[in-house]
């Protein structure tokens, strides 16, 4: 895999953000806010960190990526397309009837989609199962779960956290999107999470933190996580709507697509950074 520079990675993340705006605007629906906020992390994973091959998407030794908060699938679809898993032209079919790019990912519908997701709180359990399976089968792949801070409201998430500690799943990395926002408002108002770092540590996990928009910090943190002897939680501080001024930190954009005028304004802002 090409060794991308930090500048190249930042430019790729910007292109992914543009794809997200075009996709959701064209569909007239979708979740742009969280997708924009995770573009840097997805770029770091697929263009720097993961052991994978877009030409051999079912390679048995590939690292697995489990997207739990499936509503941010625009960032997953855009990243996979930019990485060569399928044509960028397919992004225009986002959320169309009979399209493989549905509003929540569907396993086997596209190369690179590892799990179906919709109901929140289930992805970490799936990731634990894959990580445990790798150990039982003596395989060396790692499992990267992508979860949201809001879905830590779900009890199943904490059951998975306990299981990962019990089975010492040091091949599991949970990247938590800590943007402080969920569909109804701010997490601190909906269901305060308290000290997530201390909670994960009390369950036997190693906890790392990073700036979810600092590419160097993201890569260094992910690289460190891969060498842990414990399951790792990365608390990534992100900004919902990152890169689009009128979307940033505004929970109204959690699940609202931009209209054509808003999309044009967003693309003008994003193109300034390329």
- Reported as a single tens digit per residue, the pLDDT across 91-141 is 999 999 999 999 999 998 999 999 999 889 999 999 999 999 999 999 999
Place 194 in a pLDDT band, splitting at 50, 70 and 90: very high
Flag whether pLDDT at 143 surpasses 80: yes
pTM (two decimals):
0.97
| Residue 85: per-residue pLDDT | 97
Domain boundaries, the chain: 6-271
Place 1 in a pLDDT band, splitting at 50, 70 and 90: confident
CATH for 6-271 is 3.40.50.970
Task: List, in order, residues 6 or more apart from 138 with CB less than 8 Å away.
Answer: none
Residue 253 to residue 27: CA distance in whole angstroms: 15
Residue 154 to residue 137: CA distance in whole angstroms: 30
Neighbours of 104 (CB within 10 A): 16
Q: What would the mean pLDDT of 228-243 be, rounded to a whole number? A: 98
| Residue 45: per-residue pLDDT | 98
Q: What is the 3-state secondary structure (H, E, C) of the chain?
A: CCCCCHHHHHHHHHHHHHHHHHHHHHHCCCCHHHHHHCHHHHHHHHHHHCCCCCCCCCCCCCCEEEECCHHHHHHHHHHHHHHCCCCHHHHHHCCCCCCCCCCCCCCCCCCCCCCCCCCCCCHHHHHHHHHHHHHHCCCCCCEEEEEECHHHHCHHHHHHHHHHHHCCCCCEEEEEEECCEECCEEHHHHCCCCCHHHHHHHCCCEEEEEECCCHHHHHHHHHHHCCCCCCEEEEEECCCCCCCCCCCCCHHHCCCCCCHHHHHHHHHHHHCCC
Looking at the DSSP bridge assignments, the partners of residue 222 are: none
Place 274 in a pLDDT band, splitting at 50, 70 and 90: low
Q: What would the mean pLDDT of 170-197 be, rounded to a whole number? A: 95
| Residue 23: per-residue pLDDT | 98
Mean pLDDT of the residues in the chain? 96
Instruction: Quote the percentage of the chain above a pLDDT of 70.
Output: 100
Residue 50 to residue 193: CA distance in whole angstroms: 30
Instruction: Quote the percentage of the chain above a pLDDT of 90.
Output: 96
Flag whether pLDDT at 184 surpasses 90: no
Looking at the DSSP bridge assignments, the partners of residue 182 are: 185
């Amino acid at each position: 895999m090409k060794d991308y520079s930090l500048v190249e990675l930042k430019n790729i993340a910007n292109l992914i953000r543009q794809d997200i705006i075009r996709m959701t605007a064209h569909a007239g629906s979708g979740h742009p806010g969280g997708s924009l906020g995770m573009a840097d992390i997805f770029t770091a994973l697929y263009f720097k960190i993961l052991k994978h091959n877009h030409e051999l998407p079912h390679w048995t030794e590939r690292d697995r990526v489990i997207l739990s908060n499936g509503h941010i699938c625009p960032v997953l679809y855009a990243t996979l397309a930019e990485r060569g898993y399928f044509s960028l032209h397919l992004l225009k079919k986002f959320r169309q009837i009979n399209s493989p790019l549905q509003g929540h990912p569907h396993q086997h519908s596209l190369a690179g989609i590892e799990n179906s997701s919709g109901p929140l709180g289930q992805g970490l359990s799936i990731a634990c199962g894959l990580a445990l399976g790798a150990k039982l089968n003596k395989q060396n792949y790692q499992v990267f779960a992508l979860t949201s801070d809001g879905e830590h409201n779900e009890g199943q998430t904490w059951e998975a956290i306990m299981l990962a500690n019990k089975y010492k799943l040091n091949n599991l990395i949970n990247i938590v999107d800590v943007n402080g926002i969920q569909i109804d408002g701010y997490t601190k108002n909906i269901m305060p999470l308290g000290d997530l770092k201390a909670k994960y540590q009390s369950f036997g996990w190693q906890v790392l933190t990073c700036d979810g928009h600092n590419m160097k910090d993201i890569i260094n943190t992910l690289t460190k996580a891969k060498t842990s002897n414990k399951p790792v939680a990365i608390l990534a501080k992100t900004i919902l709507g990152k890169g689009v001024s009128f979307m940033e930190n505004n929970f109204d954009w959690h699940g609202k697509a931009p209209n054509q005028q808003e999309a044009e304004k967003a693309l003008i802002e994003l193109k300034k950074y390329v």
